Structure 1
Amino acid sequence: MAHRDVVVGGASAGGVEALRGLVAGFPPDLPAAVLVVLHLPSSGGSALAQVLDRAGPLPARPAREGAPLEHGTVSVAVPDRHLLLSEGDRLTLSMGPRENGHRPAVDALFRSAAHVAGARVIGVVLSGALDDGAAGLVAVAARGGVPVVQDPEEALYPSMPRSAAAALKVEHVLPAAGIGALLGRLSVEEVPDGGVAPLPLPMRQENAMAAMDDDAIGGVEHPGSPVAMTCPDCHGPLFSIPDESLHRYRCLVGHGWSAESLAIQQNSAVEGALWMALRSLEEKAQLARTMGDRARASGHALTGERFDERAADAHRAALLIRDLLERATLGVTDEPADGVA
């Protein structure tokens, strides 16, 4: 009889500290394979595997394409590749579309593990901003897996664990340092035959997109209904994903967004457009002033006055744009980078 031998963990801001506490509590004979995603910058390398290797009793290493699951090891996602679990319990490193602006993405790993391993999966959401990981943990629970969440009161950035706990009923909420021992107990639980829920069609389609399967691009089937919005990454049409507990979206080529992450990206796009408008107005005002000075120097005072009026109009409009910029960015903070260089 199978047991819960696949642990998937995800973190973002504040996640290095949480992951170190997690792996430090692992039993040295953990009968499960551990897969970890920390949201990382796309460029450069990562020393997270080395950090986790020193922090706990289990060997930690960067994930390798095609590697089989191995009990008692920690496989760490590498920059700019989704870490996925594929058929046959093998690891896949994918250049699939970003989810909530991230690659690797926590949700992509969790969803793929739920797809392949079903009730054998234990999903762990740790410190991070916004609501990444919530959709993935819902997928784990829907397939019979066990959701685990770091106590938001202990997390450096409580938004990710709090959002995950709000999205579904989570029995196990505890500090990161206590999760390792809990996983040791959960991993020996047997999964009864017939304990895996049927695989929903949207989950299968979303997994295909993350893995860049050939039939996932340009196919007639799409996991969702079209909405009157466009993707911030590629400006393609967005589709609302059917989900009872979360509002999520995917575009035609597969970029995934939660409602919260989409709102943040839209705010960023609005800010960028306002800065471009401000620059154009400042350039217009400067050019009008220059033309006015030249007209007066040539003895055309009336023409110079008209250029001065254009400059004044552009300046007034620029002041309005500056006011809009202050309002658009008021109270908005970016998620801090938490990659390990």
Structure 2
Amino acid sequence: MTLPADIHRDLIVIGASAGGLRVLLQLASALPDGFPPVLVVQHIGHHVSLLPELLEKAGPNRALHPVSGQKIVPGTFLVAPPDHHMLVGDGEIRLTTGPKENFARPAIDPLFRSAALAYGPRAIGVILSGRLDDGTAGLHAIKSAGGLAVVQDPDDADEPSMPSSALRFVAADRIATSAELAGILQELARQPIVVREQVPEIIRCEHELTIDRRNAMQKLDQIGTRSDIVCPECGGVLWEIDDARPKRFRCHTGHAFSLAALDETQASHADAAIWAALKALHERHRVLLMMLELHEPGDPAFDVWRNEAQRVKHRIDVLRQLADDD
């Protein structure tokens, strides 16, 4: 589809986590008044966020936590509120308290997917400093819809994992240091758009799963394959999304994970399980020793309790060795 020559990139979506605040403040101070709207997801969970106040003090543009239905207009930084996913559609904001993605709410991928669908080539996606890889799939969605991808130089990032993941799986249009970012975004926003790409159906389907989980299993069967791994959030079956880069999983209740996020939580759960088992075995061993004190050597029951105590002690030693190896 050919677009009029005067259509430009008019939406910037930014995903940031640990180490992103420094870059966001530098960006806010350098962008001119009336710049195209900038939508920001910073991983904050349900904690109070002062980011809008900090961004507004740093530069000439207004900054705020939007409400559902708020119009998206130039000259504003719209920051995802605590414990809400922020989506875009029809020129306005939609907030949801749907299931977490990559253990985050707000998460980056839902915003980026919605921007890909609603704005197509008019959107510019930006990935800043952060751990793991939230935002990589969303940035891929923006590129697939004809938008542009900008990634902070990992060497310039306080936490390089998110930018490194984005560069591994997405063909970035620009790699920027924090000092270069504002200038690059101004340049890209002025570029006219010629062609609108057809948004892949899998992106549309995943967006629908974010906002409406009716018939979720049917939709997941269309875009993925049921795995033998359970969701670490709710215990349901996970679907492996077909041809996803990076590899990703979803459950029918709406939770979504990259392989890296799934690995981190399973490692944490396994470690916690070892320590819980050690605690239970230590308590069992103490009870067995108390039972042993009730009997004299030579009593048949004495041998039973002694043997059981030795068996439990052996298990403690084995698990302790596993814990110490970690």
Question: What TM-score do you get using the length of structure 1 for normalisation?
Answer: 0.88
Aligned match for 1:159, one of 156, 161, 164: 161
Instruction: Tell me by how many angstroms 1:275 deviates.
Output: 2.0
In structure 1, distance between residues paired with 2:40 and 2:268: 29
Q: Which letter does structure 1 place at the counterpart of 2:253?
A: V
SS in structure 2 of the partner of residue 27 of structure 1: coil
Aligned match for 1:12, one of 17, 28, 41: 17
- Structure 1 counterpart of 2:3: none
1:266 aligns with 2:266: yes
Assess, with a 3 A threshold, how the Cα gap between structure 1 residues 244 and 214 changes in structure 2: closer, same or farther: closer
Aligned length: 320
Q: Which letter does structure 2 place at the counterpart of 1:13?
A: A
- Structure 2 counterpart of 1:199: 199
In structure 1, distance between residues paired with 2:245 and 2:217: 28
Contact in 1 for aligned 2:144/2:200 (Cα 8 Å): no
Deviations 1:20-52 (A, max 9, x none): 12222212231x11100011132x311111111
Q: Which letter does structure 2 place at the counterpart of 1:89?
A: G
Unmatched 5+ stretches in structure 1:
331-341
Deviations 1:173-218 (A, max 9, x none): 01122211221221122223xx22222222112111222x253545
Q: Which letter does structure 2 place at the counterpart of 1:53?
A: E
Assess, with a 3 A threshold, how the Cα gap between structure 1 residues 216 and 92 changes in structure 2: closer, same or farther: farther
Instruction: Tell me by how many angstroms 1:272 deviates.
Output: 2.2
Q: Which letter does structure 1 place at the counterpart of 2:67?
A: R
SS in structure 1 of the partner of residue 240 of structure 2: strand
- Structure 2 counterpart of 1:275: 275
In structure 2, distance between residues paired with 1:105 and 1:188: 28
- Structure 2 counterpart of 1:73: 76
Which one is further off, 55-64 or 134-143?
55-64
SS in structure 1 of the partner of residue 14 of structure 2: strand
Task: Calculate percent identity across the aligned residue pairs.
Answer: 35
Which one is further off, 254-263 or 120-129?
254-263
- Structure 2 counterpart of 1:287: 287
Unmatched 5+ stretches in structure 2:
1-5
Contact in 1 for aligned 2:278/2:319 (Cα 8 Å): yes
Instruction: Tell me by how many angstroms 1:310 deviates.
Output: 1.8
Deviations 1:286-320 (A, max 9, x none): 11011112334xx9854234323322221221121
Question: What TM-score do you get using the length of structure 2 for normalisation?
Answer: 0.92
Aligned match for 1:55, one of 54, 58, 61: 58
Aligned match for 1:136, one of 134, 138, 163: 138
In structure 2, distance between residues paired with 1:59 and 1:159: 30
Assess, with a 3 A threshold, how the Cα gap between structure 1 residues 2 and 216 changes in structure 2: closer, same or farther: farther
- Structure 2 counterpart of 1:210: 210
1:112 aligns with 2:114: yes
In structure 1, distance between residues paired with 2:45 and 2:237: 26
SS in structure 1 of the partner of residue 105 of structure 2: coil
Which one is further off, 242-251 or 106-115?
242-251
SS in structure 1 of the partner of residue 294 of structure 2: helix
Aligned match for 1:37, one of 18, 37, 41: 41
SS in structure 2 of the partner of residue 228 of structure 1: strand
Contact in 2 for aligned 1:25/1:177 (Cα 8 Å): no
Alpha-carbon RMSD across the aligned residues, in angstroms, is: 1.8
